[in-house]
A and B are shown apart, each in its own frame.
Chain A
Amino acid sequence: GDSVTQMEGPVTLSEEAFLTINCTYTATGYPSLFWYVQYPGEGLQLLLKATKADDKGSNKGFEATYRKETTSFHLEKGSVQVSDSAVYFCALGNSGNTPLVFGKGTRLSVIA
């Protein structure tokens, strides 16, 4: 079945550092890909999405490009802030008959 694999956390970075969180997927067909973020004590929020190959999703300085050839959707940000500290989830949607599939989440801590 469809699956998503994210890099294990936690990830600790200094403020203004470059961030990459790896996400790869296994799926048939042409899934839609998502990144969700969960701030402490809150539910998940959509960060960005891409619905077809080579699409780039972007929001709040974060970017991810849908790479079908490498089945990846890595999340990047050029300069992280303390306020970016959160848990990031990669997710995949491929069929109306199955639910959205989430990765296990990657906890990011940014220190000043």
Chain B
Amino acid sequence: KAGVTQTPRYLIKTRGQQVTLSCSPISGHRSVSWYQQTPGQGLQFLFEYFSETQRNKGNFPGRFSGRQFSNSRSEMNVSTLELGDSALYLCASSMGPSGSGNTIYFGEGSWLTVV
């Protein structure tokens, strides 16, 4: 059974640009969550989608957005990139909503560097 797949794995962007990251969940999983991980702030929750609906959103500015498609694949977008957006972006999927006690499974992440 294939795991959570994130693309691209590594990317470098310039300040002011925008970026789109993609996540393919485990087959049959309908919930996708996104996290930002940095050395200074640790693991921070961005948002969660379940059956194409955003269920929860973390404390991030509106430059961070996401969506989920009917096949449960998800994308997140960051517009007007800032140096502080450099981070590992992790996607995780689960059968049901993550807070319901469902185990969530992580991808290997997308490493974003903003220069």
Contact = CB atoms under 8 A, between A and B. Distances in A.
A97 B101 contact: no
B43 A95 contact: no
Contacts of B106: 36, 43-45
Contacts, number: 63
B98 A100 contact: yes
B71 interface: no
Contact of B43 (A31, A51, A89): A89
B99 A96 contact: yes
A96 B100 contact: yes
Interface size on A, as a range, is 20 to 34
Given A105-B42, A105-B43, A96 B97 contact: yes
Interface size on B, as a range, is 20 to 34
A46 B43 contact: no
A49 interface: yes
Nearest to B90: A43
Interface string B41-78: 01101001000000110100000000000000000000
Contacts of B97: 96-97
A102 B99 CA distance: 11
Nearest to B47: A99
A45 B104 CA distance: 9
Interface of B: 4, 33, 42-43, 45, 48, 55-56, 58, 90, 92, 96-109
Given A99-B98, A102-B45, 17 more contacts: A31-B101, A43-B108, A44-B43, A44-B90, A44-B92, A49-B103, A51-B101, A89-B43, A93-B100, A96-B55, A96-B97, A97-B55, A99-B58, A100-B99, A100-B104, A102-B42, A105-B43
